């Protein structure tokens, strides 16, 4: 959302929560469309996404245009009072494109072609692909610019592809030339003195294709940066075409949750609306926390309300064992998204397919049809969202705590040849978020170079790469009175993945009171280390460190084993350093204490385990993630917007129960 005049989600919602989903009517005979509209109205659907995978239908032969069917659908939706999120179909080119233009097909790192017959078989670097994508986008934008059903544009779908082919190699070289200017600068940044990798010509540089042994890590890191940038170029090229026709209609592209391939901070700057697809596993005891993490991250990228573009009404079909959602869970997780800032609750997809690769993936209307339990629950969700929409949409959530996350650091940390394969970046991020979530602290996410001054507590689960600007930002934050908690493997490398002298940036070592970082002692799977203090003993997991600290900085020590007596947790003033990952309960306790000292408290006191509370604007959302009823103290008198009942001081929530309380 770069310029203030850009359209925003509010232009599409107009005081209602958008409710609906991906609609793929091309899979159905036209009679079904009328049935669909009837059921959509019945369920309170006010938004459908059309055209995501329609390229072959719209352009069955090169240059042909078949818009008639889409004209009829746009009109039908408008007559039914249903807005359309119109997608560019560019994530799945028609088979003719690959046949006539093999240069549009990407190659993997082993040189294998990704053929048509699935989806997302396009090369981000292919000039032919980009030309064809621009042409169909232009014609769509021109045709539907003035259509009254159009509420939002949806570009492509889950940009996530890689390409190691020749055209991508040429584009990579151009990208590198622009970044480094000279080969000397590239050789220096990549450390090519190692293993005789020095380049004497730009032409010698390749994507990090299949190699005999470990690849150059900075080459891999730059290739990830390049890939994210190339995909973004594809996206903004379509966006710019669309904006020429409909500057007043917001544009989005849907992110996958915590997807490694895109620097979502950077991407979000280019969107009017940030949207995400979210599929927690209904059997995962931490499914709700995973959902909360993605919701917090998406809200932070959006800097305000965001769009849940896809979720499943029931089972997905891409896990080993695909469980449906037990009764009530779909409602709970939909309202959780709203609690955490969503102004749109949508699904993949409206009607469950009978053919194709996703026929066993649920839809809002499942194979069981309108009598099915899923559709009945969808109706309830639609009705409830309609009830609360006017009071919720546009309202904000304020958090005292921020978790820092950066894709570049993740890319550098997630490579071969590291101290431990047990340290998984997203898992570490989840552990810290879980501790804060279970402590009922509301958290934002932030980029390490963002202004952090609004937060009382900043948590860095792991930022292996920190730029100088980020380090200065953290130091300034602490100097300005903020409390900082850093996990291990932070500040180790610079932006080129060059290890900083001393194994960790000197400014950070001073901040935490680390004199010498002698060795890292990663732990094997399931292995733990005993620690004592600061409040009580705990066990550390994943990692430990042999470090020497300033005596006054010692906050907890390792007990027993090789590191007996060495510091486990350091504290200097408001700066904390954890050289191990405490087990979940201990991390929650430790962070609660630190947060409370920093002036950041839980949303409500005395919340039972498994009950989540979020304040959004004036509203208090209380969500019971447990299968047993829960009694929650909610001091004062409130109105539950979902039921219309008055609630005074005490709230009883049944299994998966939710209340939306207004004072
Ligand atoms: C998403 C995708 C949808 C559908 C869905 C199934 O990743 O955008 O098109 O495939 O997953 O869960």
First to last CA, the chain: 33
In three state form, how does the secondary structure of 375-416 look?
HHHHHHHHHHHHHHHHHHCCCCCCCCEEEECCHHHHHHHCCC
380 CB-contact burial (10 Å; exposed 0-12 / middle 13-18 / buried 19+) = middle
pLDDT value for 1:
41
User: In this predicted model, what pLDDT tens digit does every residue of 393-424 receive, in sequence order?
Assistant: 999 999 999 999 999 999 999 999 999 999 99
Asked whether the beta carbons of 270 and 1 are under 8 A apart, the reply is no
How far is the C-alpha of 495 from the C-alpha of 155, rounded, in Å?
A: 31
157 Cβ below 6 A of ligand 1: yes
Does ligand 1 come within 6 angstroms of the Cβ of 154?
Answer: no
Residue 533 confidence (pLDDT)? 77
Sheet holding 575-578, edge to edge: 443-446, 401-404, 457-460, 483-486, 575-578, 567-572, 554-559, 528-532, 538-541, 581-582
Residue 254 CA: nearest ligand 1 atom is 8
SS3 track for 456-515: CEEEECCCCECCHHHHHHHHHHHHCCCEEEECCCCCCECCCCCECHHHCCHHHHHHHCEE
pLDDT higher than 60, residue 138: yes
Q: State the average pLDDT over residues 555-576.
A: 97
User: How far is CA 362 from each of CA 22, 275, 328, 352, 486, rounded to the nearest angstrom?
Assistant: 12, 21, 16, 6, 41
Which pLDDT band holds residue 4 (cuts at 50, 70, 90)? very low
Give the active site residues.
Answer: 158, 310
Which residue, among 602, 599, 587, 559, has the nearest Cα to 487 in the 3D structure?
587
Name the CATH architecture for the domain at 611-662.
Sandwich (2.60)
- Which H helix or E strand runs over 346? strand 342-347
The DSSP letter of residue 66 is -
What number does the ligand 1 atom closest to the CA of 157 have? 8
Residue 636, φ and ψ in degrees, nearest 5: 105, 180
Name the strand (E) or helix (H) holding 330: helix 329-339
Q: Ligand 1 centroid vs 503 CA: distance in angstroms?
A: 42
pLDDT of residue 5: 64
Strand pairing partners for 541? 528, 581
Q: Which of 118, 120, 255, 277 to mutate to test the pocket of ligand 1 (most atoms within 8 A of CB)?
A: 277
277 within ligand 1 shell (Cβ under 6 A): yes
Question: In Å, how far are 235, 375, 447, 484, 605 from 476, measured between CA atoms?
Answer: 35, 52, 15, 11, 32
Locate the ligand 1 atom nearest the alpha carbon of residue 312 and give its number. Answer: 12
Residue spans of the domains in the chain: they are 9-162+228-392, 401-598, 611-662
Find all residues with CB under 8 Å of 340, minimum gap 6, and list them.
Answer: 292, 295, 296, 299, 397, 614, 616
Reported as a pLDDT band with limits 50, 70 and 90, residue 565 is very high
Task: Classify residue 27 by its DSSP letter.
Answer: G
Q: What average pLDDT score do residues 504-515 get?
A: 98
82-105 average pLDDT score: 98
Per-position DSSP letters for 434-464, written without gaps between them:
HHHHHTT--EEEE-TTS--TT-SEEEES--S
pLDDT at 182 over 80: yes
Average pLDDT of the segment spanning 314-329: 98
β partners of residue 18? 344
pLDDT of residue 6: 82
Contact yes or no for 469/447 (Cβ under 8 A): no
358 φ, ψ (degrees, to nearest 5):
-115, 25
Residue 464's φ and ψ, nearest 5 degrees, are -55, -45
Q: How far is the CA of 349 from the centre of ligand 1 (A)?
A: 8
Instruction: Answer whether CATH 3.40.50.880 is correct for domain 401-598.
Output: yes
Closest CA to 326 of 654, 661, 660: 654
Per the CB < 8 A criterion, the answer to whether 610 and 626 are in contact is yes
Average pLDDT on 343-370 reads 98
**What pLDDT does residue 607 have?**
97
* Residue 347 Cβ contacting ligand 1 at under 6 Å: no
Question: Ligand 1 center to residue 29 CA distance, Å?
Answer: 22
User: Does pLDDT of 318 surpass 90?
Assistant: yes
> Would you tell me how many other CB atoms lie within 10 Å of the CB of residue 382?
23
Q: Supply the DSSP symbol for 270.
A: T
3-state SS assignment for residue 5: coil
Residue 530, pLDDT above cutoff 90: yes
Q: Rounded to whole angstroms, how far apart are CA atoms 17 and 335?
A: 11
List b or e across 40-53, with b for residues whose CB sees 16 or more CB atoms inside 10 angstroms.
beebbbbbbbbbbb
Q: Is the dihedral of CA 322, 328, 334, 335 positive or negative?
A: negative
CATH topology of domain 9-162+228-392: TIM Barrel (3.20.20)
* 348 CA from centroid of ligand 1 (Å): 6
Does the pLDDT of residue 545 top 70, yes or no?
A: yes
Closest ligand 1 atom number to CA of residue 279: 12
The Cα 623–Cα 610 span in angstroms is 8
CA of 22 to the centre of ligand 1 (A): 9
Residue 432, pLDDT above cutoff 60: yes
Q: What's this model's pTM, rounded to 2 decimal places?
A: 0.98
What would you measure as the largest C-alpha separation in the chain, in angstroms?
77
Q: Please choose from 158, 259, 311 the residue to mutate so as to test ligand 1's pocket, defined by most ligand atoms within 8 A of CB.
A: 158
Give the C-alpha separation, 564 to 65, whole Å.
73
Taking the CA atoms of 436, 442, 448 and 453 in sequence, report the sign of the dihedral they define: negative
> Ligand 1: distance of its center to the CA of 281 in Å?
14
**Per-residue model confidence (pLDDT) at position 536:** 79
Our mutation pick for probing the ligand 1 site, out of 310, 322, 351, counting the most ligand atoms within 8 A of Cβ, is: 310
> Does the CB atom of residue 310 touch ligand 1 within 6 A?
yes
Banded pLDDT at 534 (limits 50, 70, 90): low
Q: Where are the alpha helices (DSSP H) in 163-312?
A: 166-180, 183-190, 217-245, 264-268, 287-302
């Amino acid at each position: 959302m770069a310029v203030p005049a850009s359209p925003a989600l509010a232009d599409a919602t107009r005081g209602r929560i958008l409710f609906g989903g991906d609609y793929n009517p091309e899979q159905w005979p036209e009679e079904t469309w009328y049935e669909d509209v009837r059921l959509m109205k019945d369920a309170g659907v006010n938004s459908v996404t059309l055209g995501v995978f329609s390229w072959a239908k719209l352009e069955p032969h090169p240059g042909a245009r078949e818009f008639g069917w889409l004209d009829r659908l746009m009109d039908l939706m408008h007559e039914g009072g249903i807005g359309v999120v119109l997608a560019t179909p560019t994530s799945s080119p028609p088979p003719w494109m690959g046949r006539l233009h093999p240069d549009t097909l990407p190659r993997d790192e082993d040189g294998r072609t990704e053929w048509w017959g699935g989806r997302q078989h396009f090369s981000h670097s292919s000039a032919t692909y980009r030309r064809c994508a621009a042409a169909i986008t232009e014609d769509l934008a021109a045709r539907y610019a003035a259509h009254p059903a159009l509420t939002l544009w949806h570009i492509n779908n889950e940009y996530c592809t890689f390409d190691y082919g020749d055209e991508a190699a040429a584009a990579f070289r151009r990208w590198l030339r622009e970044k480094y200017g000279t080969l000397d600068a590239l050789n220096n940044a990549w450390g090519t003195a190692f293993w005789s990798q020095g380049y004497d010509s730009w032409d010698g540089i390749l994507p990090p294709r299949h190699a005999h042994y470990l690849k150059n890590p900075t080459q891999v890191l730059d290739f990830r940066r390049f890939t994210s940038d190339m995909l973004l170029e594809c996206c903004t090229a379509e966006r710019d075409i669309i904006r020429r026709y409909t500057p007043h209609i917001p544009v989005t592209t849907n992110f996958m949750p915590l997807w490694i391939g895109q620097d979502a901070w950077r991407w979000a700057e280019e969107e009017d609306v940030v949207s995400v697809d979210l599929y927690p596993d209904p059997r995962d005891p931490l499914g709700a926390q995973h959902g909360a993490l993605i919701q917090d991250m998406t809200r932070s990228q959006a800097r305000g309300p965001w769009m849940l573009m896809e979720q499943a009404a029931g089972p997905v079909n891409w896990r080993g064992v695909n469980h449906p959602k037990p009764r009530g869970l779909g409602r709970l997780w939909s309202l959780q998204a709203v609690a955490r800032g969503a102004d749109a609750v949508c699904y993949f997809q409206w009607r469950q397919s009978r053919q194709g690769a996703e026929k066993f993936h649920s839809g809002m209307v499942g194979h069981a049809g309108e009598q099915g339990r899923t559709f009945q629950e969808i109706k309830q969700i639609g009705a409830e969202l309609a009830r609360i929409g006017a009071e919720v949409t546009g309202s904000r959530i304020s958090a005292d705590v921020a978790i820092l996350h950066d894709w570049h650091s993740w890319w550098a940390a997630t490579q071969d040849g590291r101290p431990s394969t047990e340290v998984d970046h997203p898992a570490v991020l989840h552990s810290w978020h879980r501790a804060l979530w279970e402590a009922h602290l509301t958290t934002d996410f932030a980029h390490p170079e963002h202004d952090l001054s609004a937060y009382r507590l900043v948590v860095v689960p792991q930022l292996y790469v920190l730029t100088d600007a980020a380090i200065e930002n953290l130091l300034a934050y602490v100097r300005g009175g903020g409390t900082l908690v850093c996990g291990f493997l932070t500040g180790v490398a610079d932006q080129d993945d060059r290890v900083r002298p001393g194994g960790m940036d000197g400014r950070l070592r001073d901040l935490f009171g680390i004199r010498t970082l002698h060795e890292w002692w990663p732990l094997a799977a399931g292995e733990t280390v005993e620690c004592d203090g600061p409040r009580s003993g705990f066990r550390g997991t994943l990692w430990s460190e042999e470090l020497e600290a300033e005596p006054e900085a010692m906050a907890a020590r390792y007990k027993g084993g090789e590191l007996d007596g060495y510091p486990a947790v350091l504290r200097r003033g408001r700066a904390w350093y954890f050289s191990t990952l405490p087990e979940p309960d201990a991390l929650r306790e430790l962070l609660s204490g630190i947060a409370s000292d920093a002036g950041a408290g839980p949303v409500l006191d005395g919340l039972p385990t498994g009950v989540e509370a979020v304040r959004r604007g004036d509203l208090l959302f209380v969500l019971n993630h447990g299968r047993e009823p829960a009694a929650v103290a909610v001091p004062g008198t409130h109105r539950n917007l979902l039921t219309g009942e008055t609630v005074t001081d005490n709230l009883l929530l049944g299994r998966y129960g939710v209340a939306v309380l207004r004072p």
